[in-house]
């Protein structure tokens, strides 16, 4: 197959992480590993793993997950203003629910016209239930915040 070395300068340039880490550091065999702890987030358990202090390479097989530490999303209401305009000339708006910790966003679901025409199943009811649950969670979070402020 010819010479197995990579002579693609553009790839090697982009792989140098904007001049902070050389590709040779990542592909070399000398690493300075230390244990790093990563906190639990929405839908992801906390874990520890060994990472190189110099280049960030993760040592294979070192991740140890702390089962059951992940937590649920907590949504807040986000009123979005769109660049499209309504018939009266004002901007269209929409209510979304966003988890500020991880950025998960739930928007009001729309029934699929194609599914209606074809008579096929649509997960609209499931998406609507998820949206409504996020709305209820946002109300609960807002009430907790209001009680904390008083």
CA nearest neighbour of 57 among 26, 29, 30: 26
Q: Which residue has the tokens 């025409």?
A: 117
In three state form, how does the secondary structure of 135-146 look?
Answer: HHHHHHHHHHHH
Q: What is the pLDDT of residue 26?
A: 65
Following DSSP, what letter does each residue of 30-92 receive, concatenated? ---EEEEEE--BBTB-EEEEEEETTT-PBPTT--EEETT--B----EEEEEEEEEE-TTSSEE
Mean pLDDT, range 79-106, rounded to an integer: 90
- pLDDT(70) > 90: yes
Task: Judge contact between 84 and 67, C-beta under 8 A.
Answer: no
pLDDT level of residue 20 (50, 70, 90 thresholds): low
pLDDT score for 69: 95
Q: Which residue has the higher pLDDT, 88 or 119?
A: 88
Cα–Cα dist 148/150, whole Å: 6
Q: How many CB atoms lie within 10 A of CB 92?
A: 11
- 109-139 pLDDT per residue, tens: 888 788 777 777 778 888 899 999 999 999 8
Highest mean pLDDT among 15-24, 55-64, 108-117: 55-64
Q: Coil, strand or helix: which one is 107?
A: strand
């Amino acid at each position: 197959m010819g010479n197995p070395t990579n002579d693609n300068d553009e790839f090697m340039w982009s792989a140098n992480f904007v001049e902070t880490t050389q590709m040779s550091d990542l592909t070399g065999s000398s690493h300075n590993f230390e244990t790093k702890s990563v906190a639990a987030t929405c839908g992801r358990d906390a874990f520890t793993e060994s990472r190189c202090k110099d280049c960030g390479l993760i040592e294979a097989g070192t991740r140890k997950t702390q089962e059951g530490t992940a937590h649920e999303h907590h949504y807040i209401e986000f009123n979005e203003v769109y660049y499209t305009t309504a018939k009266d000339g004002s901007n269209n708006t929409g209510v979304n629910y966003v988890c500020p910790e991880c950025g998960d966003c739930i928007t009001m679901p729309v029934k699929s016209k194609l599914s209606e025409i074809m008579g096929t199943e649509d997960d609209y009811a499931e998406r609507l239930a998820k949206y409504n649950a996020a709305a209820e969670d946002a109300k609960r979070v807002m009430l907790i915040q209001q009680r904390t402020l008083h």
